[in-house]
Amino acid sequence: MADPEVERLVEGYVSSSAASTAGKDHPMIDEPRLIRALDVILFQLTRLGRACVPVMQPGLRQTQIASAERALPFQLPGELRALYRWRNGTFTKEGDTIAALWFFPGFNFPPLKEAIQIYGERKDGPQWKKGWFPFFADFAGDFYIVACSPKGGHSARVIGFVHGEPEQAVEYLSVTTMLETLADCYEQGAFFVNDDGLLDIDDDLHRRIARQHNPGVAEWQD
C-alpha cells in the first residue's frame, strides 16, 4: 500500500516543473521541489512493488550528516544534504541481488556512510577528480557524482561517471533536475518493469524527458 501522504504529494506534482526554470542556474535549492520529486519516485517504486522500498533507511538528522562530513575534505552541497535527510539510501547485505534493489534502472542509492567509503576507495584513481562525491552507484564502477567544495554550496551539476572512459560528462544541471527527470521517467513509462522482473528503460523517451528538464546539456541532444 502506498503511503497516503506520498499519494497526496504525488497528486500535486507538476511534471513540467522544469519548464519555468529552463536554462537557468540555481545557486539556492528549492528543497520542497526536490522532496516532491523524491516522493514521486518512492510512490512509483512502491506501485511497481520494488524490493528497495522496504529496505530504504530513514532520513538522517542534520547533525548526523555534519558528523559524517568530517570524514571528507569538503562539505556536501545542500541538495545532497536534503537527499539524505529524506532517506539514507537502501540497506543491502551480502547475498542481496543488487539489480532487485535499483532506485532507478542500473543504479542503487547507497547510504551516506557507504557513499563516503566508495569515495575513499576511488578518490586517488586516475579518472577521479578532486572533490567528486558519488551518490548513486551501479557497484560495477559507474556512478553519478557531484563536484563538492570546502564551503559546500547549495546546488551542483551531476556528472555521469563511466569506468574506463577518458571523459566524464555532465548529464544533469543539478541534483534536483536529475530527480525530476527520474520522477517523470517513472510517471511517463520511460522506466518500467521488464519480463525478467527488473527495472528497464525506454532510451528515447528517457532522452526526451531529460532534455526537457536539462536544456542545453549535450548528453541529451540529438
What's the pLDDT tens digit per position in 141-152?
Answer: 999 999 998 887
Across the chain, mean pLDDT equals 88
Question: Domain of 47?
Answer: 4-11+24-215
Whether residue 141 lies inside any domain: the answer is yes
pLDDT at 27: 52
The answer to whether the CB of 42 falls within 8 A of the CB of 53 is yes
Whether residue 220 lies inside any domain: the answer is no
The answer to whether the CB of 148 falls within 8 A of the CB of 76 is yes
Q: Which long-range contacts link 96-100 to residues 24+ away (Cβ below 8 Å)?
A: 98/139, 99/198, 99/199, 100/50, 100/51, 100/52, 100/197, 100/198
The answer to whether the CB of 174 falls within 8 A of the CB of 165 is no
Whether residue 202 lies inside any domain: the answer is yes
Instruction: Give the integer Cα–Cα distance in Å for 25 and 22.
Output: 9
Residue 14 has pLDDT above 70, yes or no: no
What's the CATH code of the domain at 210? Answer: 3.40.1580.10
Whether residue 18 lies inside any domain: the answer is no
Whether residue 107 lies inside any domain: the answer is yes
pLDDT at 31: 95
Structural domains counted in the chain: 1
Whether residue 221 lies inside any domain: the answer is no
Instruction: Give the integer Cα–Cα distance in Å for 222 and 220.
Output: 7
